Amino acid sequence: MTLKKRSLSGIKPTGTPHLGNYLGMIKPAIKMQETHQTFYFIADYHALTSIREPESLKEHSYDLTATFASLGMDFEEHAFFRQSDIPEVTELTWFLACLTSKGLMERAHAFKDAQSKGQDVNMGLFSYPILMAADILIYDSHVVPVGKDQKQHLEITRDLALRFNHLYGETLVVPEAIIEDQVAVIPGLDGQKMSKSYNNVIPLFAPEKQLRKAIMKIETDSKTVEEVKDPESCNVFQLFQCFADQSAQQDLAEQYRAGGMGYGTAKQICFEAIRDELKDASEHYHQIRGDRAHLEGILEGGKDKARKVARDVVDRVRNKVGL
């Protein structure tokens, strides 16, 4: 197991997971269990840059744990844990912060987006990419599966690792981002990036009725049933592509181009494909979501595995900087 390369990723407990999270991060991350040793965590320290409700932080952390469990994460071989159960990560953040120029942080997306919306920028949000770099570097991670929106954070992480290694000699593993091209950015109901912050999400494990209702709300152009339609520019088709094999995609694309099919029909086909892929996992999720003791057990096991690696890396770093 330890000979495999390590894949690491994190997700914030800021809301119920949605199809964008599933396609952009959770599904590819879980698939990597076959080829990598995987370390996945709940980014609760990061969530504190915006969340002020302790109960909601806890509940969303359980949502994520049950989500990974129901989608087939193997907790014996791999580690799933809370970021905050590994306090060493804040120690590494400090070492990295001392190598980070303020200018680099001023160019970072998370902070710039918040600033452009006139939101209050706290120092946690401002230095968000440094904590994220520490999250990755503290586990000697080789690869990091994430959605495209995280690309810049991965570039910052690589810069910081290279900078540390340049100053102190080979110490940190320089990681690579893994971004699935086809599912780079999943559109939400309104066509913008699907995101908890935009109120346009399709929840991953919504009951069937609610799932169908959400899919029926996806915005399309206003072409009539008879008119010829373009699959490539349609939000419904884009989502469908992520849940269908090549031949089903071709079938539906032909129906778009032939005319005579309304968006209601396309949405129904899309709904059925999503429902079929997620049906078993959804049932499993609802069975275990209420069992806190079980979910805590998963997180405890993950913590033990992760902390061991983190301690080693922090010791290595302390040694190198002269502490």
Q: Residue 182 class from Cβ within 10 Å (0-12 exposed, 13-18 middle, 19+ buried)?
A: exposed
The residue among 113 and 251 lying less far from ligand TRP, judged by its C-beta, is 113
Picked from ligand TRP, ligand ADP, none, the partner binding residue 136 (CB below 5 to 8 A depending on kind) is ligand TRP
Binding site for ligand ADP (CB under 6 A): 11-12, 14, 20-21, 23-25, 146-147, 149-150, 183, 185-186, 193-197
* Burial readout 283-317 (b: 16 or more C-beta within 10 A, e: otherwise): ebbeebbeeeeebeebbebbbebbbebbeebbeeb
> What does the binding site for ligand TRP look like in residue numbers (CB under 6 A)?
8-12, 43, 46, 132, 135-136, 144, 146, 150, 153
CB 52 → ligand ADP: shortest distance, Å?
A: 16
CB nearer ligand TRP, residue 145 or residue 231: 145
Residues whose CB falls within 8 Å of the CB of residue 166, separated by 6 or more in sequence, listed in order: none
For tokens 């590994």, name the residue: 86
**Smaller CB distance to ligand ADP: residue 99 or 200?**
200
Give 63 or 135: the residue with its C-beta nearer to ligand TRP.
135
What secondary structure does DSSP assign to 217-270, as a single string?
T-------SSS---STT-HHHHHHHTTS-HHHHHHHHHHHHHS---HHHHHHHH
Which of ligand ADP, ligand TRP, none does 46 bind, CB closer than 5 to 8 A by kind?
ligand TRP
312 binds, among ligand ADP, ligand TRP, none (CB under 5 to 8 A by kind): none
Residue 11 vs residues 104, 132, 175, 314: alpha-carbon distances, Å: 23, 11, 18, 22
- Residue whose CB is nearest to ligand ADP in the complex, by number: 24
Residue 8 Cβ vs ligand TRP, minimum distance, rounded to whole Å = 6
Which of ligand TRP, ligand ADP, none lies near 197, with the C-beta cut-off 5 to 8 A by kind?
A: ligand ADP
- Cα–Cα distance for residue pair 24/105, rounded to 1 Å: 25
**Of ligand ADP, ligand TRP, none, which one does residue 135 interact with (CB within 5 to 8 Å by kind)?**
ligand TRP
